[in-house]
Structure 1
Amino acid sequence: MRKGFHGLFTCAIIILLLASCTATKFVPDGFYLLDEVKIHTDNKNVRPSSLKMYVRQNSNAKWFSLIKTQLYVYNLSGRDSTKWGNKFLRRIGDAPVIYNESEALRSQEEIMKAVHNMGYMAAIVKKTTKVKKKKIKLLYDVTVGEPYIIQSLKLDINDTKIDSLLRQDSVKSLLREGMIFDVNVLDAERQRITNKLLQNGYYKFNKDYIGYTADTVRNTYNVDLTLHLRAYRAHENDSAEAHKQYQINEINFITDYDVLQSSALSSVNINDSIHYKGFPIYYKDKLYLRPKVLTDNLRFASGDIYKEQDVQQTYSSFGRLSALKYTNIRFIETQVGDTAKLNCYVMLTKSKHKSIAFEVEGTNSAGDLGAAASVSFQNRNLFHGSETFMVKFRGAYEVISGLQAGYSNNNYTEFGVETSINFPNFLFPFVSSDFKRRIRATTEFGLQYNYQLRPEFLRTMASASWSYKWSQRLKIQHKIDLINIGFLYLPRISPKFREDYINKGQNDIFQYNYQDRLIINMGYSYHYNSTGGSIVNNTISSDSYSVRFNFESAGNIMYALSRATNIRKNDNGEYAILGIPYAQYIKGEFDFAKNIRIDHRNSLAFHVGMGVAVPYGNAKTIPFEKQYFSGGANSVRGWSVRDLGPGSFAGKGSLMDQSGDIKLDASIEYRSKLFWKFQGALFIDAGNIWTIRDYANQPGGVFKFNRFYKQIAVAYGLGLRLDLDFFILRFDGGMKAINPAYETKKEHYPIINPKFSRDFAFHFAVGYPF
């Protein structure tokens, strides 16, 4: 096998060398291939990476910042561009970038302007080239020089109201005496002042009304800076006047606005109206939302000073209503006496309230193939308050392989139904309306039932839940599971399965999880995403990071009541309710992921996650549905799903054996755009799971501080992603590098002695692994 790897590696090197020799195949005589572009600066405060965006012409893209694969693919095509094979190679490849002197000079000018804007007015950018055969390397050498410093700072504001507002907020100013004269910071201060005034009634204000005068002191690098406030002009030739501070006048609702029609109010198709608490509400034929829903989602009122933030919060509030498709808030200026006022029109477009969806999917459970189908119905305006009601039916079938003799069949059948209703507000007794409005939470009630018929057993699961969700500043999401009641019922267990796995008394996990069980838990989850509320599939686009935290506990209240009432325990030493024992545990999880953008085609992603689940009180182990497993598309990708651990335990072919109470995962992944919608990845994964207690059927699986780090599994591999914008298809191939299931050096370190049939795992998934 090692010879095979060496041969493959040698072939790859030869192909790359041959391809590199033909890199200039399509470069005309007298022209040069732009082989490389570099920027060098003599000041660490001016980073070359911040200047790359000003380069007008870059060399051909490299896969993983190393190989110009697409250029080589293009050069594999023949001279005849009419042949389909040559057309295909050119379509998926990249044509050579021919050096353009004028573009290079423009880049030089743009880089110089950018450095000057950073405050280094004396900076010089020198362009140099190095030619070798038909290739050219381009270098921009930036000599930064001394920065210009703001020596004095003055405000020229001939408006007493605005002057008072800005002086009250002066501590937040971005400008300071002694700072570098950075044009970017000056522009950011203009935007900060604009935002401040938009929050205080200045509806028509924009940053063009703010300007600067900068006077340099002769023979020095000092600048005297003055910030000016320009007077308001409706048109360029109009006379100057003071900026007006606006108040909200009337607020009107138009509930049947068609975004495809003219935006003029006179063209809106309405034929009826009502007044609710002083708010005119216009509609066509029938009002589909209760008036209170409309007014409760407003974040401003008649008589308030105009605040841009209140308008954006109103957009956000109406955006949470699934009964609406679009929201458009318009303001029309009106003069009432000597006061400038705004009439507001909240224009709403309703969504399609009812829908039916069908889904068909293939399933693969530890190599057993099957199929599943589901149908769901959704009503997004059940009680005319934008309540979302959903009901879903699902069925699945699988053929189970590897069963021993003694079972009546080898088929797995599953039926399930779930229903939920989501309210767009916080529902809880004895809570004030002001609190409900501030928290902006949604409330969800859900019911689920699942029927599983396997050769080994018949199992049914039923659950009911009550939860809340809300967001903060678009970047933070909270969820509280106020209560979640689950009931596990096993009316039938195969005699052979009971004899082989349960009655032997060696597997506490089997014994615990194949009994009727009640799980009553509550929990809280926190999620922060630095990119905000929008979902970005292509994580190469920007630097970002996310933090997740989850905590849940079960059985504590029931345990306290059981102890207080002194009820009798069952034969297994457990408290039970109506003869059904309940689970008791606490569980906490933490997850951190970070993406670092290298350039527009490459990024580096990191991930670390850990979790601990501790059974206590009324339980000896964690319910199977709450336990951890390792391996698979989102874990250590050198192992199949649920095929790793716990600890150094090699497994015996049972999913129940390879679960644990502690989990650790870490990954690093280099991501690169390839061609068209394809991306590539190189990754290294590490992690494992462990148990808290030492079980006889899982030797080597218990967590110990002096040993766990020796049991961390490591894998490496390659991945291919197909980015379809709305979702990503992912194909990953992982190889084991360190296998804790073996002690001998040869098998413990398969990276040294790889065996493809033993060490390789293939994964197909949707979305990024983290």
Structure 2
Amino acid sequence: MIYDAYYAERSRTDMERALRNMGYMQAYVELNEEIRKKKLKLTYRLHAGAPYRIGSWKYDIRDEGVREELADYESHLMQDSMMFNVNILDAERQQMTNHLQNRGFYRFNKEYITCTADTVRGTHIVDLTYHVAPYDARSGRMHERFRIGKVNVLTDYDLAEAARERDLSHFDSLHYKDLNIYTRRHSFLRPEVLSQNITIEPGRFYSEARLQETQSMLGRLHAIKYSDIRFVENHNDSTLLDCYVLLSRNKPNSFSAELEGTNSAGDLGAAASLSYQNRNLFNGSELFTFKVRGAYEAVTGLQGYSNGNYVEYGVEASINFPRFLFPFISPDVRRRIQATSEIALQYNSQERPEFGRRAASMTWGYRWSYNHKWRHSIDVVDLNYVYMPWISTTFREEYLDNINNQNSILKYNYENLLIMKMGYGFTYRSEGGESRATLGNAYSVRFNVESAGNLLYGFSHLLKAQRNDSHQYTVMNIAYAQYLKTDVDFTKSFLIDHRNSIVFHVGLGVAYPYGNSRILPFEKRYFSGGANSVRGWLVRRLGPGKFAGNDRNIDFINQSGDIKLDVNLEYRTKLFWKLNGAFFIDAGNIWTIHDYEEQPGGAFRFNSFYKEIAVAYGLGLRFDFDYFILRFDGGMKAINPAYESGKDRYPLIRPDFGRDFAFHFAVGYPF
């Protein structure tokens, strides 16, 4: 790049300013230029000096009303002897402003608050004074405190007629609780739905927090396309603000269709789906979704089967209610947690050359968020039924009943099965405060736990029900699964600068079958490798433990486990345009809790599991299109736990691209 003395000096002054803003008042930066032929080397030497700390702080408030409201204000940012930091001082101004705006001071903003710093001579102590200016310093006019007057809700709001939003004569009106509802026809939302999602109430002091809460609650209603909230001073009482909630309806119905080509291990096929959505099923912004899907695939390479086609069709329906459908919960709690309730039904049918499979499920659960950081989910009932109407003689004789090829894991997954589970999960995402975000102190935690079969097992044991030949209790001659499964994920980002960051991730999962089950259902087992795990292996090609696999036709069953560990470290950088790059190191594996003959070396042992951790490294390219990310990762094996010693165990030393490379394509980041 071409040297520019102006920008070099500007960088020096920016560094000095940044140091002084962080409390190093006497900091200075030296700029040295060293010319070598036609190249110039710049060296910035930072002399920070001793930091300044805050000794005391006080408030200078000439507005009596503001002074009374701040009398009970407690700072959560200012601390004795903390380092002087301009960013924290500015955050304190914003916190004081929020405190006042939530107590009726509608026109107040942080520009009315200034801060002066006095240093004690001969020390590095700073005494602060926060000054709060009156509304108009020239006239001496103080800040006014407003209460809410009328709350007017205009449905069917038209942006083209924005100037007429206060002319309500041409609207039909309805008064419901504290709301005045105006509509040109009938309201597309029931009055109680509007009342549940509008927290601004007449007679209360104006609150910025309630305004944002109402905007958030209205924004999650699928029936609303656009919402706007405005405040207008009441002509008869200057201490009142009339609130106008302007709503425009969304299109209630929509259809979508998808057509895709499929390629499963070289077998070509096609799939199509058709979806219908109603965004306002019962005039309460209930989202109803109905979807049908069909797929066909020509299966090749199979011998001894009468049919060579794979046919699948499925249907699913769900209703999402934008509220907590549960008794004994007060309206205030319903508003605060902003929960949704969902009921879903699904049916799927598969016809393969080897077998026929039917699956039906029913789910009833809740989802809610808190403080934009916490997300919770509860599955009250999740019922799944898998039915195998037929299994071909060839498949049964070759894999399921073959004395020389007994596989209890494989056989278990081709039997009729009932799963009745319940679960809970939460996700916490912390972006940190304004000053912490500068340091990249952002992390997320995800936790899930689910339990299946306990209620059924309790009833079976209480009623002394008969067991089947496999010593399992049944419901209508169908064995049910019983297990406990827990997953924990932790991800932390370290921001180096605006172009570079490091992301660390660790994930641990444990699933334990007990009681009515000795083996986990295949859908609940863990697998390793792939785009979101240890990327030196293809999906389902790693583990469990040091198990290497032997029969490639059924390894997708055998290479699964009850315990999973993933540890990932990824360096991310912006390259150019929308293209980003990455370098990653992955480690992990899966293990089984019990010893299985089909998975020798796959059981978890405390004294040896660390020797069975696989390690991979690689490079990635990501196209960031804002709304979605296309990811291409190429991973190489570094340590292969399938080998206990020798060069095959450490492919990092002698890499073989054809043997050790795995390519992955995915949408979104891996963690």
Cα distance in 2, alignment partners of residues 647 and 198 from structure 1: 59
Q: 1:267 to 1:756 in 2, by over 3 A?
A: farther
Q: 1:185 aligns with which of 60, 78, 88?
A: 88
Counterpart of 1:673, as a letter, is K
Residue in 1 aligned with 2:602?
A: 701
1:631, distance to aligned residue in structure 2 (A)? 1.3
1:371, distance to aligned residue in structure 2 (A)? 2.9
Q: 1:634 to 1:269 in 2, by over 3 A?
A: farther
Query: 437-446 vs 380-389, which deviates more?
Result: 437-446
Q: Where in structure 2 are the equivalents of 1:371-450 lying within 5 Å?
A: 371-403=270-302, 405-450=303-348
Q: 1:515 to 1:249 in 2, by over 3 A?
A: same
Give the conservation status (yes or no) of the 8 Å contact 1:121–1:147. yes
Cα distance in 2, alignment partners of residues 747 and 669 from structure 1: 25
Q: Where in structure 2 are the equivalents of 1:191-590 lying within 5 Å?
A: 191-217=94-120, 221-233=124-136, 239-259=139-159, 262=162, 265-266=165-166, 271-334=171-234, 340-366=239-265, 368-403=267-302, 405-504=303-402, 506-531=406-431, 544-590=442-488
Cα distance in 2, alignment partners of residues 649 and 240 from structure 1: 81
Give the conservation status (yes or no) of the 8 Å contact 2:189–2:284. yes
Higher strand residue share: 2
Residue in 2 aligned with 1:754?
A: 655
Give the conservation status (yes or no) of the 8 Å contact 2:613–2:641. yes
1:695, distance to aligned residue in structure 2 (A)? 1.1
Q: 2:521 aligns with which of 593, 607, 623?
A: 623
1:227-248 Cα distance to aligned partner (Å, 9 max, x none): 2221112xx86x2222122111
Q: Structure 2 stretches of 5 or more lacking a match? A: none
Matched, 1:604 2:508: no
Residue in 2 aligned with 1:666?
A: 567
Query: 267-276 vs 726-735, which deviates more?
Result: 267-276
Question: Is the partner of 2:557 in helix, strand or coil?
Answer: coil
Cα distance in 2, alignment partners of residues 181 and 703 from structure 1: 52
Give the conservation status (yes or no) of the 8 Å contact 1:646–1:690. yes
Q: Where in structure 2 are the equivalents of 1:682-693 lying within 5 Å?
A: 682-693=583-594
Give the conservation status (yes or no) of the 8 Å contact 2:65–2:143. no
Cα distance in 2, alignment partners of residues 703 and 473 from structure 1: 40
Q: 1:738 aligns with which of 630, 634, 639?
A: 639
Residue in 2 aligned with 1:120?
A: 24
Q: 1:428 to 1:665 in 2, by over 3 A?
A: same
Q: 1:473 to 1:494 in 2, by over 3 A?
A: same
Give the conservation status (yes or no) of the 8 Å contact 2:615–2:639. yes
1:581, distance to aligned residue in structure 2 (A)? 1.1
Cα distance in 2, alignment partners of residues 429 and 179 from structure 1: 49
1:335, distance to aligned residue in structure 2 (A)? 6.1
Q: 1:636 to 1:554 in 2, by over 3 A?
A: same
Question: Is the partner of 2:647 in helix, strand or coil?
Answer: helix
Cα distance in 1, alignment partners of residues 52 and 595 from structure 2: 68
Query: 460-469 vs 125-134, which deviates more?
Result: 125-134
Cα distance in 1, alignment partners of residues 148 and 184 from structure 2: 26
Cα RMSD for the two superposed structures = 2.4
Question: Is the partner of 1:189 in helix, strand or coil?
Answer: helix
Question: Is the partner of 1:422 in helix, strand or coil?
Answer: strand
1:719-739 Cα distance to aligned partner (Å, 9 max, x none): 121222211111122221211
Q: 1:156 aligns with which of 36, 57, 60?
A: 60
Q: 1:469 to 1:352 in 2, by over 3 A?
A: same
1:301, distance to aligned residue in structure 2 (A)? 1.2
Query: 213-222 vs 616-625, which deviates more?
Result: 213-222
Counterpart of 1:108, as a letter, is R
Cα distance in 1, alignment partners of residues 120 and 442 from structure 2: 42
Q: 1:769 to 1:345 in 2, by over 3 A?
A: same
Question: Is the partner of 2:156 in helix, strand or coil?
Answer: coil
Matched, 1:167 2:68: no
Residue in 2 aligned with 1:681?
A: 582
- The ranges of structure 1 where at least 4 consecutive aligned residues each deviate by more than 6 angstroms after the TM superposition are none
Question: Is the partner of 2:193 in helix, strand or coil?
Answer: helix
Q: 1:510 to 1:245 in 2, by over 3 A?
A: same
Q: How many residues align?
A: 662
Cα distance in 2, alignment partners of residues 648 and 333 from structure 1: 73
1:140, distance to aligned residue in structure 2 (A)? 2.5
Cα distance in 2, alignment partners of residues 672 and 336 from structure 1: 59
Q: 1:225 to 1:277 in 2, by over 3 A?
A: closer
1:529, distance to aligned residue in structure 2 (A)? 1.7
Counterpart of 2:367, as a letter, is K
Question: Is the partner of 1:761 in helix, strand or coil?
Answer: strand
Cα distance in 1, alignment partners of residues 469 and 389 from structure 2: 19
1:436, distance to aligned residue in structure 2 (A)? 2.7
Counterpart of 1:211, as a letter, is T
1:195-224 Cα distance to aligned partner (Å, 9 max, x none): 111111111111111123444455655544
1:317-365 Cα distance to aligned partner (Å, 9 max, x none): 111101112221111122655x711100111122222111112234344
1:242-291 Cα distance to aligned partner (Å, 9 max, x none): 21221111000011223465466358996433222352212233321111
What is the TM-score when the length of structure 1 is the normalising length?
0.82
Question: Is the partner of 2:598 in helix, strand or coil?
Answer: coil
Give the conservation status (yes or no) of the 8 Å contact 1:247–1:306. yes
Counterpart of 2:400, as a letter, is I
Counterpart of 2:33, as a letter, is T
Residue in 2 aligned with 1:131?
A: 35
Residue in 2 aligned with 1:49?
A: none
Question: Is the partner of 1:748 in helix, strand or coil?
Answer: coil
Q: 1:247 to 1:449 in 2, by over 3 A?
A: same
Give the conservation status (yes or no) of the 8 Å contact 2:52–2:83. yes
1:713, distance to aligned residue in structure 2 (A)? 1.4
Give the fraction of aligned pairs with identical amino acids, expressed as a percent: 55
Q: 1:466 to 1:211 in 2, by over 3 A?
A: same
Q: 1:185 to 1:545 in 2, by over 3 A?
A: closer
Counterpart of 1:560, as a letter, is G
Q: 1:144 to 1:348 in 2, by over 3 A?
A: same
Cα distance in 1, alignment partners of residues 77 and 546 from structure 2: 56
Q: 2:623 aligns with which of 709, 722, 726?
A: 722
Give the conservation status (yes or no) of the 8 Å contact 1:357–1:377. yes
1:450-500 Cα distance to aligned partner (Å, 9 max, x none): 111111110000000001000011111100000011110000001121122
1:526, distance to aligned residue in structure 2 (A)? 0.7
Cα distance in 2, alignment partners of residues 167 and 130 from structure 1: 58
Counterpart of 2:666, as a letter, is A
